[in-house]
A and B are shown apart, each in its own frame.
Chain A
Amino acid sequence: MFRFLLTRLAAAAVAALLSSLAVFLLMRAVPGDIVSQMLGQSGNDRTAEEALRGFFGLDRPIWAQFGDWLGATLSGDLGRSWYQGRAVTMLVWDAFLVTAEIAVATLVIATLVGVPLGVLAGIREGTRTDAAIQAFNLLGLSAPVFWIGLMLLVGASAWLEWSPPFAYMPPGLDLAENLNIMILPVLSLSLLQAAAYSHFVRDTMVAELRKEYVRAAIAKGLTPRQIYFKHALRNILIPLVTFVGLILIQILGGAVVIESLFSLPGLGRLILSGIQGRDYPVVQGALLFVVLVALSVNLVIDLLYGLIDPRLRP
């Protein structure tokens, strides 16, 4: 187990390092840096340009710049935003809290809706209920998240004469207002994820119910209820764990688009505005964070697998 953990950690570290390097090079490979943005359409003042470039360390060789960044990062310092001057760790953390709220709320709603639907469809395999739920699942999976958001916005405005406030409010300051802001984005993401859940649970359930032990249980005279809840459901827990992890990562991605539609200051907006403003430390820091979150989720899944079922240890 320990060796397994170690190999996984090493692979994750290599992946994180490589992706950081890729982001670092990609950002610097394209034209237009922060200096030209700051000077804008003003004169071609070489002195100002060089002074600013020197200030941001952009005049140094690219490997030295990466070395500096890596060194500082390893000691826990992601630097400061070139525009705002705030520490990148603070910016990323604040943004993460917003995205995390969306992700957790989505996960909860999607689970509450998706799992029962999936179980129901799985139990009633081949019936009309099953077909209807399957159709819902496929539709939910096909709909672009941001489009659902747009349509919810239209619907709320046309029929309820209500619109979200747009100015983000942290839950700690005013919970009611925070919920007002979060409801539409979370709903739009939840539809997709509930469909994904339900789809997954249904298929696993169907596969499980076809297995030998279920037939044996029926032969032993167990009631269907006992079979569903004692055996089948328990056995789909393991794949479900993986699935939750994948969904979390997916929500992180979906949140980028949703945040920009509903003007939420989450990780996606931070990355997007960082890219547009060529605020390198912010982009690098935020992406490193996202990568680490994704890697840890995957690692936890692997570990859980190992714990639940020792046969799966490589």
Chain B
Amino acid sequence: MPGARLRLVAGLAALFFTAAPALADDALVYGKSDPAAKAGGKVAVGSLIEPPSLDPFLQGADARIRVTGLMYQGLFFEDQTGVARPLLASGFEVSPDARTYTFKLRRGVKFHTGQTMSSADVKYSYDWLRDSKNGSPGAGDLSSVTEIAAPDANTVVFKLSRGNAALPMTLTNKYGAVVPKGYFDAKDASTKFNEASVGTGPYKLKVFRPNSILVLEKNKGYWQKGLPYIDEITFVTMPNSAAMVVALQNRRIDLALFSRPQDTEQLKTVPGVEVKRWPSLNQKTIDLDVKYGPLKDVRVRQAIALAVDKAAIMKASIAGYGTVIGTIVIGMQDGWGVPIDQLPNQKVDIDRAKKLMAEAGFADGFDIDLTTIIGYDWMDAASVTVAEQLKRIGIRVNIKKIELGVWIRNFRAREMGFTFNDWGTTPDPSLLYYRHFRAAPQGADFRNWNNAKASELLDRGQEEADPVKRKAIYAEFQKLLAEEAVSIMMFSADLITGQRDRLKNYNQHATGWYFGLIKAWLAN
């Protein structure tokens, strides 16, 4: 497997070095096409999670975005190389102060309802998204937008209160999408998303039976000629990864995305099933609330960082199918990261950790709760491993397993304590860091860090339009982050897919979403 890893990294690096400023290179939207592709057929996809609802404006859960990304589209596509590629936009111009973006819209785009998309729809949709009264988690990212104008049918202008180099990447497919103007006038509009889709995407909603299946059908009037290839996609909700393994084996499904690679071990010997690894934009972290007990002392946080052996935790929790990281997800390491050996507090050093503990007055250690979340399988093995590791510097870890709902509530209330976290990002450093680490009120500062230097860097990084200068700003920020140890970013797990061999050209997107299905095809 080391060979595969090398190729993977080399491939990623090549992509990053060729990453030119956004070009309307339509051929690259949704990944590479296969010249041998044939249209037709039905595919079944197994999934452990199911979206509670299909409203693309609500909820930041992967379960929802994974599938709504096939039905709804934003102005841009989040190419995993870190480039925002025009999707419903065909190109854009930005003013020198990065405060006015003028987007040209693609022509001939039709909604699933049959209406033709115009600038009025785009303005309506993004105005709805950015109005926080409508409750979208994406509203915060657009808080600097002061006005959206539609001077003509094919042009939309965004005016900002301060420069935002990440705006195109913000207008991708995670939160919000372009829907017909006036859609939300109906009182039960949000519910209607579960019955019929009204997006511009390559797939339309056919059936949504909660706790069971979700069926999408090909949008025959889709604007990208010849796409998609597959006629129908059925997402099947499965109870656990063992069930997905069996279903793949018995041809009940053609594709499954696994969260733990060891689950796919037995698939490797099954004829007709291929197990593949893909880089991800996800990271597993230990987060530290700076206001929580002994964690108030930076020396304690540093000691923890020095005692944690990231590689061992990765080995225990995901059988090593990932990459140890420093301060950024692996997908963005080459484009935006600082090499790990240039970051502080990355190498295990028990002696120094003990010394720091003693200096902080905890020579005899202390007891602390480590929070893990139910349903995140990797955390079970990781928590046990971390507990063993921290025992070496006298910290007695008590594992507390809580429900996701409670965890999110604590997180949002900035009462996270000492916890594992599992988060992904859209590939832009501002979108990755700002919300988490910028002091309030601009950022959410979940860890109560309240660091003026960090906030200043994050503000500058967001406004800086020059990519080289921007990278330097974020490098400085990352060194500060590692020094202060408010979030110990441990590793990015590879995305692992199991695929039946009749499914061709499926390329797993680094977000973990199913964009790859749009250019995949079925051989018989």
Let me know if chains A and B touch directly in the complex, using CB atoms closer than 8 Å: yes
Chain A residues in the interface with B (C-beta under 8 A): 30-33, 35-45, 47-48, 51-52, 55, 80, 83-86, 91, 95, 157, 161-163, 165-168, 260-263, 265, 269-270, 273, 276-279
How far does the alpha carbon of A35 sit from the alpha carbon of B405 in the complex, in Å?
10
The 4 closest A-B pairs by CB, nearest first: A85-B191, A32-B409, A43-B140, A42-B137
Q: Kindly state whether residue B90 has any CB partner on chain A within 8 Å.
A: no
How far does the alpha carbon of A85 sit from the alpha carbon of B51 in the complex, in Å?
13
How far does the alpha carbon of A45 sit from the alpha carbon of B46 in the complex, in Å?
34
Q: Is B53 in contact with A36, judged by CB distance below 8 angstroms? A: no
Q: Is B212 in contact with A168, judged by CB distance below 8 angstroms? A: yes
Q: Is B435 in contact with A36, judged by CB distance below 8 angstroms? A: no
- Interface size of B in residues (CB-CB distance below 8 Å): 58
Q: Is B210 in contact with A42, judged by CB distance below 8 angstroms? A: no
- Closest Cβ of chain A to B152, distance in Å, is 32
**Which A residues are CB-close (under 8 A) to B140?**
42-43, 45, 48
- Closest Cβ of chain A to B253, distance in Å, is 9
Contacting B406 at CB < 8 Å: which of A30, A39, A43? A30
16 contacts between A and B (CB under 8 A): A41-B411, A41-B436, A42-B138, A47-B133, A83-B53, A84-B194, A86-B210, A166-B236, A166-B238, A167-B236, A167-B252, A168-B211, A263-B211, A265-B210, A277-B405, A279-B52
How far does the alpha carbon of A37 sit from the alpha carbon of B407 in the complex, in Å?
9
Q: Is A43 in contact with B443, judged by CB distance below 8 angstroms? A: yes
How far does the alpha carbon of A278 sit from the alpha carbon of B53 in the complex, in Å?
14
Q: Is A262 in contact with B239, judged by CB distance below 8 angstroms? A: yes
Q: Is A45 in contact with B132, judged by CB distance below 8 angstroms? A: yes
**Which B residues are CB-close (under 8 A) to A167?**
44, 212-213, 234, 236-237, 252
How far does the alpha carbon of A42 sit from the alpha carbon of B192 in the complex, in Å?
25
Q: Is B423 in contact with A41, judged by CB distance below 8 angstroms? A: yes
- Closest Cβ of chain A to B319, distance in Å, is 22
How far does the alpha carbon of A263 sit from the alpha carbon of B410 in the complex, in Å?
30
Q: Is B211 in contact with A270, judged by CB distance below 8 angstroms? A: yes
Q: Is A263 in contact with B243, judged by CB distance below 8 angstroms? A: yes
Q: Is B132 in contact with A51, judged by CB distance below 8 angstroms? A: yes
How far does the alpha carbon of A80 sit from the alpha carbon of B195 in the complex, in Å?
14
Q: Is B212 in contact with A48, judged by CB distance below 8 angstroms? A: no
- Closest Cβ of chain A to B12, distance in Å, is 25
Q: Is A40 in contact with B60, judged by CB distance below 8 angstroms? A: yes
**Which A residues are CB-close (under 8 A) to B210?**
84, 86, 91, 265
How far does the alpha carbon of A47 sit from the alpha carbon of B132 in the complex, in Å?
6
- Closest Cβ of chain A to B411, distance in Å, is 6
Chain B residues in the interface with A (C-beta under 8 A): 44, 46, 52-53, 58-61, 132-141, 188, 190-192, 194, 209-213, 234, 236-239, 243, 246-247, 249-250, 252, 403-412, 414, 423, 435-436, 440-441, 443-444, 446
Contacting A51 at CB < 8 Å: which of B135, B141, B190, B411? B135
> Assuming the A-B contacts A39-B60, A41-B423, A45-B140, are A86 and B191 also in contact, with contact meaning beta carbons closer than 8 angstroms in the complex?
yes
The CB with the most chain A CB atoms within 10 A, among B211, B243, B410, is that of B211
How far does the alpha carbon of A303 sit from the alpha carbon of B105 in the complex, in Å?
71
Contacting A85 at CB < 8 Å: which of B60, B194, B411, B446? B194
**Which B residues are CB-close (under 8 A) to A260?**
239
Q: Is A31 in contact with B406, judged by CB distance below 8 angstroms? A: yes
**Which A residues are CB-close (under 8 A) to B141?**
42-43
Q: Is B58 in contact with A38, judged by CB distance below 8 angstroms? A: yes
How far does the alpha carbon of A261 sit from the alpha carbon of B436 in the complex, in Å?
36
**Which B residues are CB-close (under 8 A) to A52?**
135
Contacting A273 at CB < 8 Å: which of B44, B59, B211? B211
Q: Is B408 in contact with A41, judged by CB distance below 8 angstroms? A: yes
**Which chain A residue shows the least CB distance to B188?**
A85
The CB with the most chain A CB atoms within 10 A, among B52, B60, B134, B403, is that of B52
**Which chain A residue shows the least CB distance to B407?**
A32
**Which chain B residue shows the least CB distance to A91?**
B210
**Which A residues are CB-close (under 8 A) to B247?**
163, 165-166
How far does the alpha carbon of A294 sit from the alpha carbon of B213 in the complex, in Å?
30
The CB with the most chain B CB atoms within 10 A, among A85, A86, A265, A270, is that of A85
- Closest Cβ of chain A to B193, distance in Å, is 8
Q: Is A168 in contact with B412, judged by CB distance below 8 angstroms? A: no
**Which A residues are CB-close (under 8 A) to B441?**
44
Knowing that A41-B436, A167-B234 touch, tell me 5 more A-B residue pairs with CB under 8 angstroms.
Answer: A32-B406, A45-B140, A48-B137, A86-B194, A166-B238
How far does the alpha carbon of A35 sit from the alpha carbon of B58 in the complex, in Å?
10
How far does the alpha carbon of A43 sit from the alpha carbon of B438 in the complex, in Å?
10
**Which chain A residue shows the least CB distance to B134?**
A51
**Which chain B residue shows the least CB distance to A30?**
B406
Q: Is B135 in contact with A48, judged by CB distance below 8 angstroms? A: yes
Q: Is A32 in contact with B191, judged by CB distance below 8 angstroms? A: no
**Which chain A residue shows the least CB distance to B411?**
A41
**Which B residues are CB-close (under 8 A) to A269?**
211
Q: Is B435 in contact with A31, judged by CB distance below 8 angstroms? A: no
**Which B residues are CB-close (under 8 A) to A163?**
243, 246-247, 249-250, 252
**Which chain A residue shows the least CB distance to B137?**
A42
Contacting B209 at CB < 8 Å: which of A40, A43, A265? A265
**Which chain A residue shows the least CB distance to B51?**
A83
Q: Is A40 in contact with B137, judged by CB distance below 8 angstroms? A: yes
Q: Is B423 in contact with A84, judged by CB distance below 8 angstroms? A: no
> Assuming the A-B contacts A265-B210, A270-B211, are A165 and B406 also in contact, with contact meaning beta carbons closer than 8 angstroms in the complex?
no
Q: Is B52 in contact with A83, judged by CB distance below 8 angstroms? A: yes
How far does the alpha carbon of A43 sit from the alpha carbon of B442 in the complex, in Å?
9
How far does the alpha carbon of A165 sit from the alpha carbon of B446 in the complex, in Å?
42
Q: Is A43 in contact with B409, judged by CB distance below 8 angstroms? A: no
Q: Is B191 in contact with A84, judged by CB distance below 8 angstroms? A: yes
Contacting B412 at CB < 8 Å: which of A39, A51, A84, A165? A39
Q: Is A40 in contact with B61, judged by CB distance below 8 angstroms? A: yes
**Which B residues are CB-close (under 8 A) to A48?**
132-137, 139-140
Q: Is B405 in contact with A43, judged by CB distance below 8 angstroms? A: no
Q: Is A263 in contact with B405, judged by CB distance below 8 angstroms? A: no
Contacting B213 at CB < 8 Å: which of A30, A91, A168, A279? A168
**Which chain B residue shows the least CB distance to A156?**
B246
- Closest Cβ of chain A to B370, distance in Å, is 18
**Which A residues are CB-close (under 8 A) to B135?**
35, 38-39, 48, 51-52, 55
**Which chain B residue shows the least CB distance to A157?**
B246
How far does the alpha carbon of A39 sit from the alpha carbon of B444 in the complex, in Å?
12
> Assuming the A-B contacts A51-B134, A163-B252, are A38 and B59 also in contact, with contact meaning beta carbons closer than 8 angstroms in the complex?
yes
- Closest Cβ of chain A to B54, distance in Å, is 9
How far does the alpha carbon of A45 sit from the alpha carbon of B136 in the complex, in Å?
10
**Which B residues are CB-close (under 8 A) to A91?**
210
Contacting B408 at CB < 8 Å: which of A36, A45, A165, A265? A36
How far does the alpha carbon of A261 sit from the alpha carbon of B107 in the complex, in Å?
49
> Assuming the A-B contacts A38-B58, A39-B137, are A31 and B243 also in contact, with contact meaning beta carbons closer than 8 angstroms in the complex?
no
